[in-house]
Structure 1
Amino acid sequence: MMKKILLYGLVCCLLLSAFGGVRACAEESGDAPEQLYARSAVLLDADSGRVLFGKEEKEIRPMASTTKIMTCILALENRQEDQIVTASANAAGQPKVRLGVKDQEQFYLRDLLYSLMLESHNDSAVVIAEGIAGTVEEFAGLMNQKAKELGCNDTHFVTPNGLDASDEGGVHSTTARDLAVIMRYCIAQSPCREEFLEITRTKSYQFANVDGSRNFSCNNHNAFLDMMEGALSGKTGFTADAGYCYVGALTRDNRTFIVALLACGWPNNKGYKWTDTRKLMEYGIANYEYRDVWEDVELPKVKVDGGIEEAAPYESRIRIPVCVKEKEEIPVLLRGDEACEVQTEVEETLSAPVKEGEVAGRIRYLLDGEEIASYDVVTEKGVEERDLGWAILWILKLASL
Structure 2
Amino acid sequence: MFSVRRNRVWWRALVAVIACGWALMSAFAPPQVQAETARPPAVNVKAAVVYDATDRKILYDKRGDEPMYPASTTKLMTAILLVQHLRPEDLVYISETASRQPRVRLGLRPGTELTAEQALLALMMKSANDVAYGIAETIGGSQAGFARMMNVEARLIGCTHTQFVTPNGLHAEAHTTSAKDIALITAKAVTYPRIVRAMQTPQATIAGKTIRNGNRLLYSPPASIGQFIGGKTGFTSRAMYCLATAVRRPSDGHILVSVVFGAPRKSLMYRETVRLLTWANRMSPSEHSAS
**TM-score bin (small chain):** 0.7 to 0.9
> What are the within-5 Å matches in structure 2 for residues 179-218 of structure 1?
179-188=182-191, 193-208=192-207, 215-218=208-211
Report deviation, 1:228: 2.4
Cα distance change of structure 1 residues 80 and 198 upon mapping to structure 2, 3 Å threshold: closer
Is 1:238 aligned to 2:245, yes or no? no
Q: Distance in 1 between matches of 2:115 and 2:201?
A: 18
Is 1:273 aligned to 2:269, yes or no? yes
Aligned amino acid, residue 75 of structure 1: L
Is 1:228 aligned to 2:222, yes or no? yes
Q: Distance in 1 between matches of 2:115 and 2:35?
A: 55
Aligned amino acid, residue 235 of structure 2: F
Cα distance change of structure 1 residues 256 and 134 upon mapping to structure 2, 3 Å threshold: same
> Which of 245, 249, 252 pairs up with 2:246?
249
Aligned amino acid, residue 93 of structure 1: R
8 Å CA contact 2:49, 2:183 repeated in 1: yes
Report deviation, 1:81: 5.0
Q: Distance in 2 between matches of 1:81 and 1:231?
A: 24
Aligned amino acid, residue 102 of structure 1: R
Gaps of 5+ in 2: 1-25, 27-33
Report deviation, 1:49: 1.8
CA offset digits 1:269-311 (Å, max 9, x no partner): 211111110111011110143xxxxxxxxxxxxxxxxxxxxxx
Q: After TM superposition, which residue ranges in structure 1, 4 or more long, deviate above 4 angstroms?
A: none
8 Å CA contact 2:35, 2:287 repeated in 1: no
> What are the within-5 Å matches in structure 2 for residues 173-184 of structure 1?
173-184=176-187
Gaps of 5+ in 1: 1-22, 209-214, 290-333, 340-367, 369-401
8 Å CA contact 2:118, 2:206 repeated in 1: yes
CA offset digits 1:306-330 (Å, max 9, x no partner): xxxxxxxxxxxxxxxxxxxxxxxxx
Report deviation, 1:255: 2.4
Pairwise CA RMSD:
1.9
Q: Distance in 2 between matches of 1:288 and 1:124?
A: 43
Is 1:287 aligned to 2:283, yes or no? yes
Report deviation, 1:29: 2.8
8 Å CA contact 1:245, 1:263 repeated in 2: yes
Q: Distance in 2 between matches of 1:251 and 1:151?
A: 22
8 Å CA contact 1:49, 1:184 repeated in 2: no
Report deviation, 1:27: 7.3
Q: Secondary structure at the match of 1:172?
A: coil
Alignment-derived partner of residue 304 in structure 1: none
Is 1:219 aligned to 2:212, yes or no? yes
Q: Secondary structure at the match of 1:335?
A: helix
Cα distance change of structure 1 residues 81 and 31 upon mapping to structure 2, 3 Å threshold: closer
- Structure (1 or 2) with the greater helix fraction: 2
Aligned amino acid, residue 182 of structure 1: I
Report deviation, 1:87: 1.2
By relative contact order (CA 8 Å, sep 6+), the higher-ranking structure is 2
TM-score, normalised to structure 1, is 0.61
Cα distance change of structure 1 residues 196 and 288 upon mapping to structure 2, 3 Å threshold: farther
Report deviation, 1:45: 0.1
- Structure (1 or 2) with the greater strand fraction: 1
> Which of 123, 139, 145 pairs up with 2:146?
139
> What are the within-5 Å matches in structure 2 for residues 1-400 of structure 1?
28-34=36-42, 36-166=43-173, 171-188=174-191, 193-208=192-207, 215-225=208-218, 226-229=220-223, 230-253=227-250, 254-265=253-264, 269-289=265-285, 334-335=286-287
Q: Distance in 2 between matches of 1:218 and 1:128?
A: 18
Cα distance change of structure 1 residues 81 and 262 upon mapping to structure 2, 3 Å threshold: closer
Paired residue total? 254
Alignment-derived partner of residue 298 in structure 1: none
8 Å CA contact 1:68, 1:160 repeated in 2: yes
Q: Secondary structure at the match of 2:247?
A: strand
Report deviation, 1:187: 1.2
Q: Distance in 1 between matches of 2:246 and 2:57?
A: 14
CA offset digits 1:49-88 (Å, max 9, x no partner): 2101100111110000000111011101101451122211
8 Å CA contact 1:65, 1:120 repeated in 2: yes
8 Å CA contact 1:49, 1:181 repeated in 2: no
- The structure having more radius of gyration, on CA atoms, is 1
8 Å CA contact 1:114, 1:218 repeated in 2: no
Aligned amino acid, residue 125 of structure 1: A
Q: Distance in 1 between matches of 2:255 and 2:131?
A: 30
